[in-house]
Chains A and B, each alone.
Chain A
Amino acid sequence: MRTLFAAGMLATGILAAQPGAAEDLTLEFVVWNYSLETIQDNVKKFEEANPGIKVKVTDYTWPDYQDSLVLRFRGNTPTDVIYGGQDWLPAWGAAGFIAPLDSVSPAGAVDELKKDIAGFALTDVTYKDKVYGLPYYADTISFIYNKKILADAGIAVPTTWEEVTAAAEKLKAGGMEHPIVYEYNQELPNFYDAFVAQAYGRGAELFDKDLNPLFADPNNEAFKQLQWLADAYAKGLVQSETHESKIIPAMNTGAHAFTIVYTYVLAALNNAADQPRAGEFALAPMPGSTHATLGFAKSYVVTAQAAADPARADAAWKFVDFMAGQPYTVAKRWAVEKGLGFAQLPLFQDKDVIDAWGKWADVKSLGDQAAIAKAGTYTEYSSVWSAYFRPLLAKAMVGEASVEQTMKDGADRWNQLKEQFANR
């Protein structure tokens, strides 16, 4: 009996002497489910490098992500680190759901990392002069075309939207039913982003420095671009797809010549392993007078819940720093393996990245595009406004509403929200 007691005490002592097992802290990490296996593998590497911290990954689909997160915040569901989007970040910051990174990081750490982040991406992760996230990936929206189709038809790569129309009409006359394939899903933020990217190509400013909307003016380039889209639909030049994942096979049927999507889609389009027309696709500067486009960053963000608990805050910072901080191993992995863009500028000089990207894109064109990319205008109420405006855009494109009324309604709603927010 005495032996049994002694053995029990010894076992208890051993357990108590192993803080790694007894005091593991588990971070709740919430993501959308893009390439979940890679996420899990990155998490595993973090756990190996940080004994005592475990990370539980919860994933949602991209269309369900935003509302699932809002539900988690509203329901106080334990959530420590999340994927953040540039369009939600100010609203979540204003609502007190997320915390500035300098509240969880050692002094000066965020400022040091900021120096390496591309301008548009830094804008996207900043709210009220505080950095709320480090980039998970950063990308631009690109105008992509099929080189072979254009070469066979003797069409030069279009440089303006009017040239896109002319090229599409020529292809249609030659038997291509819908030369343009377009991601048309009013519930996705991409839908508005793609429109902004096109308008930026024309040199549009959608808002002035005081955040007054400018796009309802018929002379504004955004107004003209919506008119262009409505005309293209009316002429039967466009085929809608509900998601980029369907644009990839659609472009690979050879039945379409142009599309406007996130740049990383080009990597999937040119993936020889599973796409029959891999190698035929290239990006061209966004049509228009300035060729600018929209650049954006998705980021790792720490919640206010985590920041309020010193132990969790410390672990959350370690995790964010591992995923997005120097030496940028994880960001590089996403770039090399998946073709995801990045905001960490030193990676543009990385040989592995250059070699990997060279397989599916002209790296110089990518760099040129990133250099002139512009951040979107994001405020506390912009995601609410965008949710209101996207269905209006969708209606105008397919001719169910006039461009003039759509832009007027959009501007009115923006002003209403702006005033409401100012008086809150």
Chain B
Amino acid sequence: MTRKPHDCLEIEAELIAAATGDAEPSAARRVEHHIGACGACRGEFHRYREIDGVVGTLRGVAGGADAEVRARQGLESRLAGLRSRLLSYHVFPSPLGHILIARSEHGVSLVEYLHGRSDVSASRLGRMAGVELQEDSAELETLHRELLEYLRGDRKRLEWPLDLRLARSDFHRAVLRATAAVPYGALTSYAGIAAEIGKPAATRAVAQALRWNPLPIVVPCHRIIGTTGTLTGYSGDKIGLKQRLLAVEGIKAKGKRSDSHVERGMLYHYERNDQHEYCLPTCGDIVRHPIGPVTLLASRELAGSLGLVPCTSCRPDLHPLAA
């Protein structure tokens, strides 16, 4: 290159920008002024304009349209794969210890007590094959907040879309769906759920399915107890958690560990009848009928909301149980 005067070197970048339609107005004016007086730069300016013209024709040139369509189809299929395996999760503290919530694009797929640990390595997520994990507190913030409200007793429903794919079988999914339908403040038994899904002999299998419940609290397996009122089990041996969750709903339990049982004398009873009447525990010998056929209810309001009416002989409307 020939040596250029200082002014020409100084304005070169702006000159290129101006010639290729890429300069700010003030720079374009400076260039215009300069090339008015400098023939060499005027030549350069026109040369760059010509180059810009050639560059402009590159825009229309792309790879084959077929390849583009192929790439798009490949993307759709890889995207579908990613969507089905991607779970976003967040771990947060709660009155029941650290809890992990994970969700897919279909819905919430895991609620997990981390039992004294506070990081994802304690989660069963780490042992799952074919799952891609992504920490995402922003996406799970609403769920987190609603769960804390629930645990404080400020919220009675968790109306979350659920993704039951982490359940182990269709039978487990049927158990979870039936359990999810047990209302806030009500109790039934494993046998009751077995009957509900049309497998009355499968009581133990129901208990196993709830032992593996991937969505505790939101699928309220804590509302499922033994036919006599014993709490039986929860999240391994965490009967205390079950008691606390029931207490939030106004249901008291007595005794420790395997002796732990709900106080039927403090709860309203409903056993299926054509009049849809619910009773006091002192009505006839209903208190000795197995839970399952009998549903226990924490309050008269709950009974009313389920479309039940007070029994005309024991009159729970006139003799409310002590709160």
To the question of whether A and B form a pair in one complex, the answer is no
Binding site for A on B (CB under 8 A): none
